[in-house]
A = this chain, B = another copy of it.
Amino acid sequence: MDVQELHDRGLKRRVDMFGREAVDKRIGALGEFGKPLQHIINAYAYGDIWARSALPPATKSLVMIAMMAAAAHPNELRVHLQGAVKNGCRAEEIQEVLLLLAMYCGIPSANEAHRIAVDVLGEPQRA
């Protein structure tokens, strides 16, 4: 397969997962400087790895949530929480991932991830 093809099918998948507007905004924010990174994301991440099909999309989303929360990447965690909602994950499933996180990466990681999840999942925040 040609690398350009890999890139194009990756970009298409990415747009399907997150919406045209969100993807355009992320790509635009990094301008010229970010083009080679966007190529990595489109061609190699979404064109290759996300094209594999051993796991259903919802399971991949839960795996990504676990990975991004454990590695302390809050922006990416937010993106993949949004992807999880789109891929049909229920709040209870996401919650269970974040409770495993509390026990295996500690309470502060779980606190941070909960704050983002509550924001993405849209529950009213009452104090």
**List of B residues within 8 angstroms of A70 by Cβ:** 66-68, 70-71
The residue on B at minimum CB distance from A5 is B3
Copies in the complex: 6
Is B55 a contact partner of A44 (Cβ separation < 8 A)?
no
Q: Which of B75, B101, B112 contacts A112 (CB 8 A)?
A: B75
Residues of A that sit less than 8 Å from B by CB: 1-3, 6, 24-25, 28-34, 36-37, 40-41, 44-45, 48-49, 52, 54-55, 59-60, 62-64, 66-73, 75-76, 90-93, 95-112, 114-115, 117-118, 121, 123-127
- Please list 28 pairs of residues, one from A and one from B, whose beta carbons are closer than 8 Å in the complex, sorted by A's number: A3-B6, A28-B127, A29-B127, A31-B125, A32-B123, A33-B114, A36-B95, A37-B98, A37-B110, A40-B44, A44-B44, A49-B102, A52-B96, A54-B90, A54-B92, A55-B97, A62-B62, A62-B63, A63-B66, A64-B104, A67-B69, A67-B70, A67-B101, A75-B112, A76-B108, A104-B107, A104-B108, A105-B105
